Structure 1
Amino acid sequence: MKKIINNIKENYKLVIAVLVIGVFLGLIFSGSSDKTTAGTNAVEGHEGHNHESEDPTTWTCSMHPQIKQDKPGKCPICAMDLIPLINRQSAGDDVNPNEIVMTESAAKLAAIQTMKVQLGVPEKSVRLQGKIHADERNISELTARFGGRIEKLFVNFTGQTVRKGDKLATIYSPDLVTAQRELLEAIGFKSSRPSLYQASKGKLKLWDLTDKQIEEIETKGEPMLYFDVLSPISGTVTVRNVAIGDYIKEGSKLFEVVDLSRLWVMLDAYESDLPWIKVNDKLEFTVQAMPGKNYEAKVTFIDPFINGDTRVAKVRAEVVNKNQQLKPEMFVNGIVKSKTEKGLNKILIPKSAVLWTGKRSVVYVKVPNRETPSFLYREIVLGPEAGAFFVVSEGLKENEEIAINGVFKIDAAAQLIGLPSMMNPDGGKVSMGHNHGDMGAGNSMQKMESAVVDEKFKKQLTGFYNEYLLLTKAFVASDPSLVKPAAESLLSKLSTIDMSLLKGDAHMQWMTNLNVLETKLKAIAASKDIGVQRTAFAPFNQALYKSIKSFGLYKVTTYYQFCPMADDDKGAYWFSNSEEIQNPYFGEMMLGCGEVKETIK
């Protein structure tokens, strides 16, 4: 022990020096480590902060808002592209409460495109159908001015061509003979009683005797026993009501002569077409009897009345009929290329920019002077359709910027955060009413069936179905003249269905079906050929089936029936309110062909 203590005493200076050096080195390394750790933490915290603030967008599905991801992709339920859930704080403090704010990357991924609203002259090509008619101003009908007997007939058949002044028939008339004798007697009093002479002469003129014929009677001094009926115009005899030996009475119809050198092209224009058609508009038309040959004319008259049965107005053009190639009653397909009045500019926007509910037309206007894309919901009033554009009557000004692509994604984002949108103009989040299972094509309709559908919409769809039965009845009768107005009436009924009663998937499903229903009904209404009408009727029924299965009918049982021979042996369906088969694709030809495939209650 003493030895150890003695050693320590001898080396205490060395021990103290070692301890001092150790403490010094520890302080140095400790400080360096703290500084390094603090610096690292600061960098990590800064980087993490920057990363969080770079693009704090949450991505969700417009149809399944329960899906939320931190990056873009596809919805795992319905495979739709995810849309950004808006971070409103990134837009600044002066944001309108109803403003839909998006990041630049979100707008690009949503494929949003915009354009500035411009003034332009609306143009449209209106397709019309009709027939060729005789010019009513060039029709001459000959009637008997006096009674008598047909002695000779120079027109042997209907369709014979005659020239002005040609003899059509010769008549013997006792009354005419008496009137000529009165004239001959009045000639003797021509100087003393000129009024009597003029009265006798005037009587013969009223009976269509020419001045030359009257002069011949006066020269001969004896009455003409036979009177020739002369053609008043050059043309074609379209009616012949007499034969040799017929006795006729005063006022009897003898002949009708029509000049076919100029004809009328009479076209049917629906109410929606009329704003686009003006007098002097250029008409290009073809005739089914002469395929490949094009004709041109100008609109000369527009009927001031709408036909109460067909719901169309007649549009007339005049055409020169060279070589008599065109015949009255030929079918015509025409296109009128029209503009609004010169100098009358209107605001035009692409159809893709408009969301339409049946009651409201909606666009999204880009807010100017924003660092990030921002949009505001706006309702507008649409004017007539102009090809790929709509005329805007109210709601937009020139040079305002609107979204023209990705509009539905903007609207869906607005719905998700409870801002005013197409379906909810007053704002508030939409209850989608989805089942969250697999939404594959095989069971999407079943999912829709289980969703809650507004009873008011069901009643409107049922009213449409009841009107549809009248169209089916017209097809069973195989009468295109009945099918056409029935389709027009059904098209009008379709426009009264309020799609804003549907939400989410249901709304999208109806819009898809609506496009087919509307297109096929227009095709049926536009044709007068029962074959063409039935061809359009087949896909129409498929779209109607999807609608009825998706949304249901109100207290109605319907029978979905099928004929394997319809539609060129491809098979086609239709609905009936009875199990009895009455085939609309064949009518009386095969009225009972078909079977009930499904009963929908």
Structure 2
Amino acid sequence: MRKNWKNKGLWVGLLMLVWLVGCSSDGKQQKQGPANPNNHAGHDHAPTGKAGQATEYTCPMHPQIVQNEPGSCPICGMDLVKKVQPGAGDSVAVDADLKALLQPTNALVVANVATVQPERRTESVTLTANGIVTYDTRRLYTIPARYGGRIEKLYVRYAYQPIRKGQKLLELYSPDLVTAQRELLYLLEADGTNIPLIAAARQKLRLLGLTDGQIDEVVKRRQPSYSLAVFSPYDGYVVEGSSAAPAPAMPAPSGGGTSAGGMTGGGMGGSSTDEVVFSAAPSAPASSGVMDGALQVREGQYVQTGQTLFQVVNPTRLWAEFRLYAQDAARLKPGTPLTISFTGSGTPIQRARVDFVVPFFASGGTDASSQFVTIRAYLSGANGPRVGQLAKATLRQPVPNALWIPATAVLELGTERVAFVKEGGAFRPVRVQTGAQSGTLVAVTRGLTEGQAIARNAQFLIDSESFVNVTPTTP
């Protein structure tokens, strides 16, 4: 009995000890709070966010899984993350300045750059144009065959051989000419008193190209001449019958448009054709069919009536032809003084005047900026330039009452030009049309008005042309 009571007391003591240890750990846990801060067991409210709303958790891969407490996704097992509530984050009020900055980049280009206003005044511009020295066509003569026949003797042997007026060029046998001589001799023998018929026979020989001296020689000898000489009626140089005077090649902009100080081939409506290049290098005037300076006319060759035997060029007076952009030549008139220099020949500079402005455009392209006007000045060929020589003309003319801006304020975009007008805190691209250029200034003929503030340096505003979207303007 005594042992049983002892065993029962031992078991009761152990139970009391276990009960005391459990109560002590439970008290500590209540003082320290829950080990997991996200464990809201025992609380009577749900987790809340900054705005007082209940915090929700979702799966990044499966957004349809939404819970009010952290955990794992039942589909993929990923940890749930807090779900961002709509409208969360800091908000900023958008004022007028910020609204301008938020415009699309292809509508407004924003920069803090210096501005300038267009000024209306009169400026004197310098025009330069490339050209070529060519024949004066009024001194380009043709020597035709007035009767058909065979060349018996040729005295002109090579192209560009100098000849003088009255010099013998060739001897020609012609059956028609022999017949006309016999008619005159027959009238003299059969009806020597018939003055009208004899005068008509003489006139016929004159029209065939015989001189009075040759006719008198036939009458004196009383025999027809079977080989008659052809004399030159002009001074100059002999060229082939089919040769033509050289003309300046069509100038082409290196990029399209008019030339200027900032011109790169088309430039920005400038005042110079310095950048105009020839589409083909002009060569010295050459005769069609001339080989090594020889002529195609040969002894023993038959020619027909009216066939051109030679062309004779008198180079004592020449033309210098230049091509200007149409807008540069708009105010150009005959009599305008110009200075002509010659490329790489040592020929001294000549001063001349514009003698003729061709009344038609020479088109080098499909747009208006590729139209050219040809001007002509007369030069003295004595100890001066040669035909086919390159030349450059420089002339000045005033541009009255024009709107001028810095050339750097215009941006070249291929076939069009733009300037940036300041509106509020931003710059808007505006299509402009430019004219002549004077130094660092360029005249604007369309697109801008006085009082507008434009960017002084248009190139500074962009790093790519793709940012500029020009709004079409009504004409």
Aligned position for 2:435: 384
- Distance in 2, matches of 1:192 and 1:384, equals 76
Q: CA deviation at 1:132?
A: 2.0
Q: Is the 8 A contact 1:352 1:405 kept in 2?
A: no
**Who is 2:376 aligned against?**
316
Cα deviation, residue 236, structure 1: 1.0
SS of structure 1 residue aligned to 2:178? helix
Residue deviations 1:49-88 (CA, integer Å, cap 9, x gap)? xxxxxxxxx9x9999689xxxxxxxxxxxxx9985xxxxx
Cα RMSD (Å): 4.8
Residue 263 of structure 1 deviates from its aligned partner by 1.6
Counterpart Cα distance in 2 of 1:263 and 1:166: 24
Matched, 1:150 2:151: yes
Cα deviations across residues 547-566 of structure 1 (Å, max 9, x unaligned)? xxxxxxxxxxxxxxxxxxxx
Q: Secondary structure at the residue paired with 2:179?
A: helix
How far the C-alpha of 1:396 sits from its partner, in A, is 8.6
1:260 aligned residue: 315
The structural deviation recorded for 1:169 is 1.0
Q: Larger deviation: 171-180 or 292-301?
A: 292-301
Say if 1:118 and 1:378 are closer, same or farther in 2 by CA, change over 3 A. farther
Match runs of 1:50-65 below 5 Å: none
Residues 134-184 of structure 1 deviation map (CA, whole Å, 9 limit, x = unaligned): 221111222211122222222222221111111111112222121112123
Which residue of structure 2 aligns with residue 463 of structure 1? none
Residue 228 of structure 1 pairs with residue 229 of structure 2: yes
Cα distance change of structure 1 residues 206 and 292 upon mapping to structure 2, 3 Å threshold: closer
Unaligned runs of 5+ in 2: 1-94, 104-108, 241-294
Equivalence map 1:192-231=2 (5 Å): 192=194, 194=196, 196-231=197-232
Q: Size of the alignment, in residue pairs?
A: 308
* Distance (Å, rounded) in 1 between the aligned partners of 2:135 and 2:328: 24
2:346 maps to 1:303: no
CA separation of 1:160 and 1:82: change in aligned 2, threshold 3 A: closer
Is the 8 Å Cα contact of residues 378 and 395 (structure 1) preserved in structure 2? no
Picking from 291, 314, 337, the partner of 2:395 is 337
Q: 1:319 Cα shift? A: 1.0
Q: 1:336 to 1:276 in 2, by over 3 A?
A: farther
* Superimposed CA distance per residue, residues 270-326 of structure 1 (whole angstroms, 9 cap, x where no aligned partner): 434432543233333333341574233332233333345665443322211123x53
Richer in helix (by share): 1
- After superposition, where does 1:530-545 map in structure 2 within 5 Å? none
> Residue 382 of structure 1 contacts residue 390 of structure 1 at CA under 8 Å; is this kept in 2?
no
The one-letter code of the counterpart of 2:470 is S
Q: Specify the SS of the correspondent of 2:360.
A: coil
- 1:292 and 1:230 mapped to 2: Cα distance? 35
Q: Deviations over 1:403-424 (max 9, x none)?
A: 5875879xx9xxxxxxxxxxxx
Q: Tell me how far apart the structure 1 counterparts of residues 374 and 178 of structure 2 sit (CA, whole Å).
A: 48
Amino acid of the residue matched to residue 151 of structure 1? E
**Aligned-partner Cα distance in 1 for 2:98–2:124:** 39
Q: Which amino acid aligns with 1:386?
A: Q
Secondary structure of 2:352's counterpart equals strand
Seen in structure 2, the aligned counterparts of structure 1 residues 144 and 112 have a Cα distance that, compared at 3 Å, is: closer
Normalized per residue, which structure has more strand?
A: 2
**Mapped partners of 2:325, 2:337: distance in 1:** 18
Contact 1:281 1:336 in 2 (8 A): no
Instruction: Give the aligned partner of residue 133 of structure 2.
Output: 132
Q: Do structure 1's residue 349 and structure 2's residue 404 form an aligned pair? A: yes
Q: How does 1:107-118 map to 2 (within 5 A)?
A: 117-118=119-120
Instruction: Return the TM-score normalized by structure 1.
Output: 0.42
The higher-RCO structure (CA 8 Å, 6+ apart) is 2
In structure 2, do the counterparts of structure 1 residues 114 and 143 end up closer, same or farther at CA, with 3 Å as the change threshold?
Answer: closer
Whether 1:164 and 2:223 are equivalent positions in the alignment is no
In the alignment, is the contact (CA less than 8 A) between 1:284 and 1:294 conserved in 2?
yes
Q: Report the residue type matching 1:314 in the other structure.
A: T
Aligned to 2:22: none
- The CA distance in 2 between the partners of 1:396 and 1:190, in whole Å, is 90
Quote the offset at 1:221 in angstroms: 3.9
Equivalent pair of 2:341/2:393 in contact (CA under 8 Å): no
Task: Report the AA paired with residue 274 of structure 1.
Answer: A
8 Å contact from structure 2 (residues 146, 306) kept in 1: yes
Q: TM-score, normalised by structure 2?
A: 0.52
Q: Deviations over 1:86-113 (max 9, x none)?
A: xxxxxxxxxxxxxxxxxxxxxxxx7556
Greater Rg by CA: 2
Change (3 A) 1:254 1:405: same
1:281 aligns with 2:336: yes
Q: Work out the CA distance in 2 between the residues paired with 1:406 and 1:148.
A: 77
Change beyond 3 A, Cα 1:407–1:152: closer
For residue 569 of structure 1, what is the aligned residue in structure 2?
none
The separation in 1 between residues aligned to 2:124 and 2:421, in whole angstroms, is: 22
- 2:306 matched to 1:251? yes
- Sequence identity (%): 28
CA distance in 2, matches of 1:229, 1:147: 13
Matching residue of 1:429: none
- CA displacement, residues 528-548 of structure 1 (integer Å, 9 cap, x when unaligned): xxxxxxxxxxxxxxxxxxxxx
CA drift at 1:378: 13
Q: Residues 557-568 of structure 1: matches in 2 within 5 Å?
A: none
CA 1:206/1:82 → structure 2, altered by over 3 Å: closer, same or farther?
closer
Q: Write the letter of the residue equivalent to 1:385.
A: A
Q: For 1:202 and 1:292, how far apart are their aligned partners in 2?
A: 49
Residue segments in structure 1 that go unaligned for 5+ positions in a row: 1-57, 67-79, 84-109, 366-376, 413-431, 433-443, 455-497, 503-601
CA gap 1:284/1:359 in 2 versus in 1, 3 angstroms: closer
Change (3 A) 1:180 1:123: farther
1:128 maps to a residue whose letter is A
Say if 1:125 and 1:335, in contact at 8 Å, map to a contact too. no
Letter of the 1:157 counterpart: Y
Question: What is the CA–CA distance in structure 2 between the aligned matches of 1:190 and 1:131, rounded to whole Å?
Answer: 60
Matches of residues 470-549 of structure 1 in structure 2 within 5 Å? Answer: 499-500=469-470
Seen in structure 2, the aligned counterparts of structure 1 residues 359 and 260 have a Cα distance that, compared at 3 Å, is: closer
- Is contact 2:316-2:381 (8 Å) kept? yes
The equivalent residue for 1:92 is: none
Is 2:121–2:404's contact at 8 Å kept on the other side of the alignment? no
Contact 1:179 1:200 (C-alpha < 8 Å) held by counterparts: yes
